[in-house]
Amino acid sequence: MTRWQKIRVPFLTILMVLLIDQGIKIWIKTSFPLEHHIPNVPFGQFNENKAELLFIENPGMAFGVEFGGSYGKLVLSLFRILAAIFGVVYIVHIIRKQEHPGYIFSVSLIFAGAVGNIIDCAFYGLIFSESDIEKAAVLFPADGGYAGFLHGKVVDMFHFPFWHGTFPDWFPFWSGEPFEFFSPIFNFADASISCGVVLIFLFQKKFFKKIISPEINAISEKDPQVTPPLAEQKLHEAPNAKDT
């Protein structure tokens, strides 16, 4: 197997996720004002959309979750960068170990999603003007960006408010308050991370299936009552018995 064949799956996966993620974010940020709905919802009108693009920005974690103010933002950005470095090392490791292609693909999805949001945090504050509810942002504004390095905001846009309701009066903490499912607003990078995690969870037995050596198979075939783990134990005990 050539080097290209080994890295083709993770390379193309990461490249495609980043291109799609950044393409959507740049289009949204430079085309629409903050909190703009697509399809449009006039101000003051109830949102009847079941699937929409809703442009928001958040300085925190995935799915619009915020974290710890300015210092928390810096810590989170640095953590993401360290995690991305670890991700590169880990992907190289599992490629060399020739892990299941599906597992490599899943890890690549998670890594690409993380990098997609790191790009927002690291560079969007430098290359975009501030977005507000009246006008779209400008790419490479003449007077500079809206924030420093690692202090950019993550662009989110996918919103699926399938169902609106109200918590019953007997419900603790939120009784009588309005309820929306699914309320988190996310981006393509978040979706990539989630898909990678779900794939690993669903196919973990297939991805982490232990390869049984021919020697262990031979022992199990001779005696069906000897399970592969017991056959492996006997195989390890045999050299030790000869030494004694």
pLDDT at 191: 97
pLDDT at 75: 79
Can you give the pTM of this predicted structure? 0.79
182: confidence class by pLDDT, cuts 50, 70, 90: confident
The DSSP element (H or E) to which 159 belongs, if any, is strand 154-159
> Residues with catalytic annotation?
156, 190
**Spatial distance between the Cα atoms of 216 and 240, rounded to a whole number of angstroms:** 17
DSSP state of 130: P
Backbone φ and ψ for 115, nearest 5 degrees, come out as: -65, -35
DSSP state of 62: G
Q: With a cut of 70, say whether residue 233 has pLDDT above it.
A: no
pLDDT digits (tens, 9 = 90+) for 22-33: 999 999 999 999
Q: Which residue has the tokens 């929306």?
A: 180
Domain boundaries, given as residue ranges, for the chain: 3-209, 213-244
pLDDT digits (tens, 9 = 90+) for 199-231: 999 999 889 876 555 665 666 667 666 666 666
Which two structure tokens, joined as six digits, stand for 162?
């399938």
- Which ranges in the chain belong to alpha helices (H)? 3-31, 69-96, 101-119, 125-127, 188-202, 204-207, 214-222, 228-243
pLDDT digits (tens, 9 = 90+) for 51-73: 899 999 987 655 545 555 566 67
Which two structure tokens, joined as six digits, stand for 194?
């989630």
